């Protein structure tokens, strides 16, 4: 009985060691981060009907993503594009002539599918969803708008709805994967209407934007 008991204990010990050999590497993998914030910079490129009226311009992006599954994330964000209409006008106020500038805001909301690689160190993703588009002119506020803000009755705006698609990749910059560097491309399509905006006539237009941005993110 003793030899058999010793052999049984030996086999049990080997099974435990085998399970530990499998489990320890899995436990060592960092858990994926659910909350993801990104600030990015790059360019917005107008296409479709906008290509004849607007110019490629500098842009900033801000985004939040809730990664509720290792392979899926819900997204909402803002891509702000600056002075694509090249508006160079002034509003005469009681404080003098104030510069009017134009801004384009693209608000995406949707989902992405994520392919994690190298224990989540590298993420490759693609997705899409709906988008709200708003183009507006605004005056440069005196004193930075700290003490009061002036209205601009001559400033124009137009807006509309559409959709977007994105593709990109991100790489963790630290061992705990709190900080990431990303490169993302988005394509927006939709329709806007409203005031004459820069050279855009006061008609409904078919709009398309290509957004190319590199970003730094924080995740937890």
pLDDT tens, residue by residue, 5-44: 666 666 666 767 666 555 555 444 457 999 999 999 999 9
The length of the chain is 220
Determine the pLDDT at residue 40: 98
Architecture of domain 32-219: Beta Barrel (2.40)
Contact 159, 191 (CB under 8 A): no
Q: Which two tokens stand for residue 13?
A: 């010990």
SS3 38: strand
The band of 73, judged by pLDDT with boundaries at 50, 70 and 90, is very high
Q: Which two tokens stand for residue 53?
A: 């009226």
Q: What's the rounded Cα separation, in Å, for the pair 37 and 47? A: 28
Alpha carbon 65 to chain centroid distance?
A: 8
Block residue for tokens 């508006």: 87
10 Å CB burial of residue 186 (0-12, 13-18, 19+) is: buried
Domain boundaries in the chain? 1-30, 32-219
Mean pLDDT, the chain, integer: 90
Q: Is 143's pLDDT higher than 90?
A: no
The band of 1, judged by pLDDT with boundaries at 50, 70 and 90, is very low
């Amino acid at each position: 009985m003793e030899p058999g008991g010793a052999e049984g204990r030996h086999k049990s010990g080997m099974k435990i060691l085998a399970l530990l050999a499998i489990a320890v590497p899995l436990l060592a993998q960092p858990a994926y981060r659910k909350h993801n914030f990104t600030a990015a910079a790059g360019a917005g490129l107008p296409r479709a009907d906008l290509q004849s009226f607007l110019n490629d311009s500098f842009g900033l992006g801000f985004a939040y993503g809730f990664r509720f599954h290792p392979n899926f994330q819900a997204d909402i964000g803002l891509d702000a594009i600056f002075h694509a209409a090249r508006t160079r006008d002034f509003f005469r106020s009681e404080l003098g002539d104030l510069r009017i500038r134009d801004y384009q805001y693209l608000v995406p909301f949707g989902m992405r599918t994520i392919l994690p690689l190298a224990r989540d160190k590298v993420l490759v993703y693609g997705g899409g969803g709906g988008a709200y588009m708003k183009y507006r002119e605004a005056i440069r506020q005196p004193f930075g708008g700290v003490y009061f803000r002036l209205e601009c009755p001559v400033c124009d705006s137009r807006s509309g709805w559409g959709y977007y698609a994105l593709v990109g990749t991100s790489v963790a910059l630290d061992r705990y994967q709190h900080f990431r560097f990303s490169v993302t491309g988005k394509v927006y399509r939709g329709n806007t209407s409203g005031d004459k905006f820069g050279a855009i006539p006061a008609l409904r237009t078919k709009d398309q934007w290509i957004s190319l941005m590199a970003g730094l993110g924080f995740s937890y």
